[in-house]
Amino acid sequence: MATHGSIFEDMLQEFDGAARILNLEPGIWKILTHPKRQIIVSCPVQMDNGEIEVFTGYRVQYNITLGPAKGGIRYHPGVSLDEVTALAAWMTWKCAVAHIPFGGGKGGVICDPTKMSRRELEALTRRYIAEIIDAIGPEKDVPAPDVNTNEQVMAWVMDTYSMHVGHTTTSVVTGKPLELGGSLGRREATGRGVMIVARESARHAGFDINGATVGIQGFGNVGSVSADLLRAAGARVVAVTDWKGGVYNASGLDIPKLIEHVSRNRTVEGFMDGEPFTNDQLFKLDVDVLIPAALENQITSENAAGVRAKIVVEAANGPTTPEAHRLLHERGVFVVPDILANSAGVTTSYFEWVQDRYGYFWTEKEVNERLEAKICQAFDAVLRTSLKYKVDMRTAAYIVAIERVATVTRMRGMYA
Ligand code: NAD
């Protein structure tokens, strides 16, 4: 979401708008705008060529009032303390909106995993986790995958922690392989949540998702699952774009076939049952629902005026700049903010943690039913708040989140 210097400043802008409407008292305001813990570690790793590299890693626990910190670990050359802190803050608000008993955290290591071998990545992961070991744990801080980290990395996190404490502790991390205590339904969860909020938004806007038209940017995990579940709900997904190109078919793309095409070609480009299409065309397309499910800063002040969709569902994190969001809101476009729209991912991570702690695992149907209930409750709470305060859905989501964290902060009182 970086539109200028600091991403954390962007987060604060969104926070301040909602806190003002809530008349939040100055003391709580100060507490909620400061990270609780920021840990910086140096991780020496012997590389395959025999040389030693030292990687800088961060773990930020932004707020743990509602429960253990929850948030992914990112491996990227551009990781910074400012970015990790902002992402940890957003996790705090996302968990609060989702109404799950977690605070917000995030981790990151400055590295380029595309240039590292599997052995080097494993060594880095184990050393990073060893460096932050006292700060994490099932009741303290529960990491998960993020950019460039996956199930395998989570398996190493789980193993490293378990070796240190001397017994297997599956609930220290989520996003694990099923065999290691992962949850059924986790892979599809975020896309499923996107489908649910799109369906509920359409109902609120006075039309049925069955028969509605949809355009999607990004056809990775979130975009492709959203497309498939929306198709199953009767929607017509007419356009999809990705990093390389796009496809359009006015009568609706054949999503299962498109998924097959992408698994072979790594892009939707070249799909035979549609015409070539671009991101620019997608954002101007006359569809009922537009779903940015790729990157941040895609709907900007430059293209927002051209958006003709009735509903924008922010499946990606931060796909709409603040200025673009204002323009969309003024024109009556219903924007479902990221902290609500993609919160099904962390909600199912919470389900994974619960199952690990119980040692008792749910069927996929049970996971999906519980997810449906949680997302509908979160959507209703934000919609009711938006109607009550006459504000857009993003501000409403922040109001819901801030109210929840502030209420518990007041009840717990000040420890000093
Ligand atoms: P992914 O890597 O599986 O897919 C990303 C997709 O975006 C790919 O189809 C890629 O081709 C496309 N893309 C990349 N650059 C593009 C460009 N310039 N123009 C158009 N498309 C482009 O990632 P994902 O897991 O599907 O995540 C997508 C977004 O959703 C990210 O913002 C992520 O942070 C967010 N998110 C994901 C989850 C989750 O559970 N996976 C949870 C919450 C939020």
Q: Which atom of ligand 1 lies closest to the CA of 146? A: 34
Q: Which atom of ligand 1 lies closest to the CA of 219? A: 9
Q: Are 10 and 93 in contact (CB under 8 A)?
A: no
Helices (H), 266-392: 279-284, 322-330, 338-341, 344-358, 364-389
pLDDT tens-digit readout, 52-104: 999 999 999 999 999 999 999 999 999 999 999 999 999 999 999 999 999 99
Q: Which atom of ligand 1 lies closest to the CA of 266? A: 11
Q: Which atom of ligand 1 lies closest to the CA of 242? A: 21
161 and 62 together in one domain: yes
Contact 149 CB / ligand 1 (< 6 Å) = no
pLDDT confidence of residue 1: 41
Q: Does any domain span residue 392?
A: no
Burial bucket for residue 359 (CB in 10 Å: 0-12, 13-18, 19+): exposed
User: Which amino acid belongs to residue 291?
Assistant: I
Please name the residue whose Cα sits nearest to atom 35 of ligand 1. Answer: 316
pLDDT confidence of residue 178: 98
Contact 190 CB / ligand 1 (< 6 Å) = yes
Q: What is the CA radius of gyration of the chain?
A: 21
> Which of 336, 352, 380 finishes a domain?
336
121 and 221 together in one domain: no
Determine which helix (DSSP H) or strand (DSSP E) holds 263, and give its type and residue range: helix 255-265
Q: Which domain holds residue 82?
A: 6-169
283 and 319 together in one domain: yes
Pairing of strands 275-276, 246-248: antiparallel
- Residue of 30, 36, 70, 106 marked catalytic: 106
3-class SS at 58?
strand
Instruction: Using the Cα atoms of residue 372, residue 375, residue 379 and residue 385 in order, give the sign of their dihedral.
Output: positive
138 and 208 together in one domain: no
The percent of the chain in helix, strand and coil, each rounded to the nearest 5, is 50, 15, 35
Give the sheet arrangement for strand 103-110, strand by strand. 37-46, 52-63, 103-110, 69-76, 141-145
Please name the residue whose Cα sits nearest to atom 17 of ligand 1. Answer: 243
Query: Which residues lie across from 42 on neighbouring strands?
Result: 56
CATH code for position 34 = 3.40.50.10860
Measured at the alpha carbon of residue 353, what is the angle toward residues 394 and 84, in degrees to the nearest 5? 50
311 and 191 together in one domain: yes
Please name the residue whose Cα sits nearest to atom 13 of ligand 1. Answer: 243
Q: Which residues of the chain have pLDDT under 70?
A: 1-5
Please name the residue whose Cα sits nearest to atom 18 of ligand 1. Answer: 243
126 and 231 together in one domain: no
Instruction: Using the Cα atoms of residue 253, residue 344, residue 318 and residue 379 in order, give the sign of their dihedral.
Output: positive
3-state SS track over 327-347:
HHHHCCCEEECHHHHCCHHHH
53 and 142 together in one domain: yes
Distance (angstroms) between ligand 1 centre and the Cα of 375 equals 20
Please name the residue whose Cα sits nearest to atom 3 of ligand 1. Answer: 220
156 and 212 together in one domain: no
User: Is 115 among the catalytic positions?
Assistant: no
Q: Does any domain span residue 54?
A: yes
Contact 224 CB / ligand 1 (< 6 Å) = no
Residue 332: which region, alpha, beta or left (left: phi > 0; alpha: psi -120 to 50)?
A: left
220 and 122 together in one domain: no
Contact 218 CB / ligand 1 (< 6 Å) = yes
Distance (angstroms) between ligand 1 centre and the Cα of 220 equals 6
Tally DSSP H helices, then E strands, for the chain.
Answer: 14, 12
pLDDT confidence of residue 284: 97
Structure tokens of 415?
Answer: 């420890």
Determine which helix (DSSP H) or strand (DSSP E) holds 163, and give its type and residue range: helix 151-165
Global confidence as pTM = 0.96
